[in-house]
């Protein structure tokens, strides 16, 4: 049978990107960038905030006409929105053939063949725990970096977050399977892997802890760099820090969401740490690991957030000086405890927008200053590809995760080179190849 043409649109986190590659592999499909040429169209969705959720419906709406013209094309929704709304999506969108929860990817080939043979519409949001990690992602030839999932689901219960409800409780993957998948990628030319999990550093399995997994990855030959995301603050352990100190391939960078600088808000969010504890932990990481970088996520406008609470988030930016921060306005999500809060507790939309703008302005200045502080240093850059803007330039990232552009031949792609930093920009830095 000829391979199917798959058009897949992906929203949301790295786990969704990874899952889209698993979907591609599960179907043994050829990816097309033209939905009109596709045999199967899939939108892999994100439910983290209302906006992302709405985006799923508007994206799917676009394929109504294609389905009307060609009833044989199979249109499906995957990811967290699929899990959240289940069969109500089939009712709402008559052109949809299937709804697939994020844990049900291994069942996809059977679902597609059932649709083809029996012309039935399907909702699959259940899963077999033994199969959870069964499909390894499709790997695009020539890619220098890759993700490896080490965990699915989440055992934390942050009161704003929908993830545990759509991705389920934490399930950790076997160490041997993680290492084998990583080795397979390295054999295909990948130089840098990022272990991914909702709270990646809470990974544990058969007596092994996250630090042990990092060390095991450090023993893989020809693997230049090891990263991981996203870390949960309270699961940072000595074993993890020691591994980061001892294994030179582990990049000195952590993405560590703080969410708020106010203890009242942190407690209402059920983040299980205080501002002071977070600052101490960051200081400890910076003391122990040389030239350490930290990025974060922040939510503004959480129910009950006062001007004073927000001010505490602003002072935290000064105290920590994150390399970068992703920030969001709180969005109530169905089924989460925080979504039950209503009335006076809720922060007005305009207030939240003003706070977000203020926070983003300050952080963008800090990021710019931090980027400029690198000028004059010589950094190791893993070259990932041609630069988008200039054909004589290549692009890569420093160990601290800064995007770096510099003049150099495409032949450098896949190698680690030394670059002298000459200029700090808003979202990246520029440099010169050191020869
Ligand atoms: N509203 C706004 N932002 C959210 N995040 C998670 N849930 C919500 C929500 N309900 C943010 C957090 C998290 C990031 C991935 O998305 O900052 O770290």
| Ligand 1 atom with minimal separation from the 331 CA | 1
pLDDT band at 117 (very low <50, low <70, confident <90, very high): very high
Do 293 and 233 belong together in one domain? yes
Q: What is the CATH number of the domain that holds 294?
A: 3.80.30.20
Ligand 1 atom 14, closest CA: 297
Question: Are 257 and 400 within one domain?
Answer: no
**Structural contact between residues 323 and 400, judged by C-beta atoms closer than 8 angstroms:** yes
Residues 6+ apart with CB under 8 A from 422: 375, 430, 431, 432
Which DSSP helix (H) or strand (E) runs through 382? strand 378-386
Which of 328, 330, 335 best tests ligand 1's pocket when mutated (most atoms within 8 Å of CB)?
A: 328
Q: Is 299 in the pocket of ligand 1 (CB under 6 A)?
A: yes
Would you say residue 17 has pLDDT above 80? yes
For residue 15, the domain's CATH number is 3.40.50.12160
Give the ranges where 209-274 is alpha helix by DSSP (H). 210-218, 238-246, 263-268
Which is nearest to 255 in space by CA: 301, 296, 221, 310?
296
Binning pLDDT at 50, 70 and 90, where does residue 59 land? very high
Q: Which of 113, 80, 120 is nearest to 96 (CA)?
A: 120
Whose structure tokens read 């169209």? 41
To test the ligand 1 pocket, which listed residue (46, 299, 363) has its Cβ within 8 A of the most ligand atoms? 299
Tens-place pLDDT, residues 252-298: 999 999 999 999 999 999 999 999 999 999 999 999 999 999 999 99
Provide the domain count of the chain: 3
Are 297 and 405 in a shared domain? no
Which pLDDT does position 261 carry in this prediction? 98
What's the pLDDT band for 20 if we cut at 50, 70, 90? Answer: very high
Q: Classify residue 134: in a domain, yes or no.
A: no
Q: Are 432 and 422 in contact (CB under 8 A)?
A: yes
Within 8 A by CB and 6+ apart from 211, the residues are 237, 239, 240, 241, 242, 243
In a domain, 324, yes or no: yes
Distance between CA atoms of 19 and 7, rounded to whole angstroms?
A: 14
Q: How many alpha carbons lie under 13 Å from residue 59 in its C-beta half-sphere?
A: 23
Mean pLDDT over residues 68-83, rounded?
Answer: 97
Per-residue model confidence (pLDDT) at position 396: 98
| pLDDT tens per residue, range 337-395 | 999 998 889 999 999 999 999 999 999 999 999 999 999 999 999 999 999 888 899 99
CA angle 2, 44, 24 (to 5 degrees): 25
Residue 74 scores a pLDDT above 80: yes
Give yes or no: residues 274 and 392 share one domain: no
Binding site membership of 271 for ligand 1 (Cβ less than 6 Å): no
Q: What percent of the chain has pLDDT over 70?
A: 100
Instruction: Tell me whether residue 191 is in a domain.
Output: yes
Do residues 109 and 16 share a domain? Answer: yes
For residue 181, which phi and psi values (nearest 5 degrees)? -60, -40
Say yes or no: 22 and 120 in one domain.
yes
ω into 230 cis (within 30 of 0): yes
Last residue of a domain, one of 324, 344, 372: 372
Asked if the model's pLDDT at residue 56 lies above 90, the reply is yes
State the residue for tokens 């299937």. 98
Residue 363's pLDDT is 98
Cβ 12 under 6 angstroms from ligand 1: no
- Residues 341 and 424 reside in one and the same domain: no
Name the nearest CA neighbour of 145 among 311, 384, 401. Answer: 384
Are 24 and 86 contained in the same domain? yes
Determine if ligand 1 sits within 6 Å of the CB of residue 255: no
Structural domain that includes position 22: 5-124
Domain boundary (372, 394, 418) is at 372
- Is residue 289 domain-resident? yes
**What does the pLDDT look like over 129-158, one tens digit per residue?**
989 999 999 999 999 999 999 999 999 999
The verdict on residue 103 lying in a domain is yes
Pair 405, 424 in one domain: yes
In a mutational test of the pocket of ligand 1, which residue from 154, 161, 356 has the highest number of ligand atoms less than 8 Å from its CB? 161
Q: Is 325 in the pocket of ligand 1 (CB under 6 A)?
A: no
Determine, yes or no, domain membership for 136.
Answer: no
Domain boundary among 336, 356, 372: 372
Same domain, 367 and 412: no
Please report the pLDDT score of residue 389 as a whole number: 85
pLDDT for residue 2: 87
CATH of the domain at 384: 2.40.50.140
Residue 129 is assigned to a structural domain of this protein: no
Average pLDDT along the chain: 97
Element (H, E) at 7: strand 5-10
* pTM of the full structure: 0.97
Query: Which helix (H) or strand (E) element contains residue 393?
Result: strand 393-398
Q: Are residues 159 and 206 in the same domain?
A: yes
Whether residue 365 is found in the same domain as residue 407 = no
Residue 87 domain-assigned? Answer: yes
Q: Is the pLDDT of residue 1 over 90?
A: no
């Amino acid at each position: 049978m000829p391979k199917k043409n798959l058009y897949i649109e992906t929203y949301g986190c790295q786990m969704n990107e990874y899952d889209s590659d698993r979907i591609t592999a599960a179907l043994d499909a050829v990816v097309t960038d033209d939905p009109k040429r596709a045999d199967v169209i899939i939108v892999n969705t994100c439910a983290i905030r209302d906006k992302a959720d709405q985006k799923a419906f508007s994206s799917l709406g676009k394929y109504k006409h294609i389905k009307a013209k060609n009833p044989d094309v199979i249109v499906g929704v995957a990811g967290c929105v699929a899990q959240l709304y289940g069969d109500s999506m089939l009712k709402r969108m008559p052109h949809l053939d299937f709804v697939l929860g994020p844990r049900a990817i291994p069942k996809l080939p059977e679902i597609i063949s059932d649709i083809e043979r029996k012309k039935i519409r399907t909702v699959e949001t259940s899963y077999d725990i033994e199969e959870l990690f069964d499909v390894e992602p499709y790997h695009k030839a020539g890619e220098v970096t890759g993700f490896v999932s080490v965990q699915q689901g989440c055992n934390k219960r942050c009161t704003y977050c929908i993830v545990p409800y759509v991705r389920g409780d934490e399930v950790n993957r076997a160490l041997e399977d993680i290492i084998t998948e990583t080795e397979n990628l390295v054999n295909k030319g990948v130089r840098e892997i990022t272990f991914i999990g909702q709270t990646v550093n809470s990974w544990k399995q058969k007596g092994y802890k996250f630090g042990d997994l990092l060390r095991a990855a450090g023993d893989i030959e020809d693997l230049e760099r090891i990263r991981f995301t996203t870390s949960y603050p309270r699961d940072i352990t000595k074993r993890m820090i020691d591994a980061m100190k001892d294994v030179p391939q582990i990049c000195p960078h952590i993405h560590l969401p703080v969410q708020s600088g106010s203890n009242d808000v942190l407690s209402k969010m059920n983040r299980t740490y205080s501002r002071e504890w977070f600052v101490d932990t960051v200081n400890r990481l910076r003391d122990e690991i040389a030239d350490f970088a930290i990025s974060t996520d922040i939510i503004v406008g959480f129910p009950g957030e006062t001007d004073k609470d927000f001010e505490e988030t602003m002072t935290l930016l000064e105290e920590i000086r994150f390399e970068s921060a992703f920030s969001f306005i709180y969005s109530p999500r169905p089924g989460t405890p925080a979504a039950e809060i209503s009335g006076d507790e809720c922060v007005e939309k305009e207030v939240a927008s003003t706070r977000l703008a203020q926070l983003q302005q300050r952080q963008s200045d800090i990021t710019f200053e931090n980027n400029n502080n690198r000028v004059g240093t010589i950094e190791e850059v893993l070259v990932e590809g041609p630069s988008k803007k200039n054909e004589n330039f290549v692009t890569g990232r420093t160990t601290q995760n800064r995007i770096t552009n510099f003049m150099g031949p495409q032949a450098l792609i896949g190698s680690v080179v030394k670059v002298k930093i000459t200029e700090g920009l808003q979202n990246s830095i520029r440099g010169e190849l050191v020869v």
